[in-house]
Amino acid sequence: MIKNDLFLRALKGETVERPPVWMMRQAGRYLPEFMEIKEKYDFFTRCQTPELASEITVQPIRRYGMDAAILFSDILVIPQAMNIEVQMKPNFGPYLPNPIRTQKDVDNVVVPDVTVELDYVYKAIKATKEKLNNEIPLIGFAGSPWTILCYCVQGQGSKTYDKAKKFCFTNPVAAHQMLQKITDTTIAYLKQKVKAGCNAIQVFDSWGGMLSPTDYQEFSWQYIQQIIDALKDETPVIAFGKGCWFALDVMAKSGASALGVDWTCSPKNARYLTGGNITLQGNFDPTRLYSSPEKIKEMVTEMINQFGKDKYIVNLGHGILPDIPLENAKAFIDAVKSYKA
């Protein structure tokens, strides 16, 4: 049994004494202990070495005592497993030297045996579970098929993902084949993560907000729905679409246990759009962590009051930024842990 099950209880919609808290990208770049490891090992070595990935996962828990840990990994381990080369370039980000641009490229993409190609992830989960010692739950994650496709076609990060969108709109048959291959791989991958010990799963649709509401349903949401359908009976699933407030009403009927909300949607609107019955997660603007600790505490308390303490998980509206002062991250977590309704 997990000793602190606040996060799992909130996912079930149970009444809690205070909402649980964790931070997207909490295992990483703002922590000096993470930077020490980063100086010694390149990015994918950190992801692919279970001892390193598990150590990075528990670092923020030791420092701040969040209510859930999220496995240190990356959404781009999926295309790597699908025989697509992915590099992580310092001061640049993801780089895919051979982007997917044609039907032939899609035909060459494999749906791998995830138990072989991604075995290092499951080993990292087992190592992390040992370190966590049933104190708190562990979250596993994957990128949405659309978000993965964006990187695979664009070849790198982008503000517009124009090449990815062009591919979908000029070659929809190939695009849907590619999205289905990613979806099939992701479902198999996440099922194995649950078997290895993850207590909940989050699907990150980081670039869903690049699409119009109509295109979102066609090229993104229907594939996320497949993932939710495949996993919801095995584990709680959190769906997070950045910039996708327009789809919250559809998402709320999906069978997901919770929905992530970014900072562009107010708590009141998020509750209204989702019908008020589903657990919500979010939605503190990560750049607001540059504010003073006193201001952070005041804003976090106000945010909880607006969402309500039940059916709510406190989080940022996207990942924590690399230069956030440590005491400010602490102020964010402590404000939740000391919350009184």
What is residue 163's predicted lDDT score, i.e. its pLDDT? Answer: 98
- Residue 140 belongs to domain spanning: 6-337
Side-chain half-sphere CA neighbours of 226 within 13 A: 19
Q: Are 126 and 196 in contact (CB under 8 A)?
A: yes
Task: Say how far apart CA 249 and CA 149 lie, in whole Å.
Answer: 24
Q: Are 320 and 23 in contact (CB under 8 A)?
A: yes
What count of residues does the chain have? 341
Domain containing residue 83: CATH number: 3.20.20.210
DSSP-based three-state secondary structure for 201: strand
pLDDT, tens digit, 9 for 90 and up, residues 16-29: 999 999 999 999 99
What is residue 4's predicted lDDT score, i.e. its pLDDT? Answer: 98
Split into its structural domains, the chain has a count of: 1
- Residue 119, C-beta contacts closer than 8 angstroms, at least 6 positions apart: none
1 assigned to some structural domain:
no
Joined tokens for residue 204: 């990150």
Instruction: Tell me what percent of the residues of the chain surpass a pLDDT of 70.
Output: 100
341: confidence class by pLDDT, cuts 50, 70, 90: confident
Strands 87-89 and 69-70: unpaired
Binding residue ranges for substrate = 25-29, 44, 74, 151, 206, 318
190 assigned to some structural domain:
yes
269 assigned to some structural domain:
yes
Q: What is the DSSP letter of 320?
A: P
- Arithmetic mean of pLDDT over the chain: 98
For residue 83, is it left (φ>0), alpha (ψ between -120 and 50) or beta? left
207 assigned to some structural domain:
yes
90 assigned to some structural domain:
yes
pLDDT average, residue stretch 66-84: 98
Triad 24, 28, 34: Cα angle to 5°? 160
Binding residue ranges = 25-29, 44, 74, 151, 206, 318
pLDDT, tens digit, 9 for 90 and up, residues 133-158: 999 999 999 999 999 999 999 999 99
For tokens 């309500």, name the residue: 308
Rg, C-alpha atoms of the chain: 19
pLDDT average, residue stretch 276-302: 98
Main-chain phi, psi angles of 124, to 5 degrees = -65, -35
What is residue 329's predicted lDDT score, i.e. its pLDDT? Answer: 98
User: What's at 138, amino acid-wise?
Assistant: L
Triad 7, 9, 10: Cα angle to 5°? 65
Torsion sign across C-alpha atoms 123, 124, 125, 129:
positive
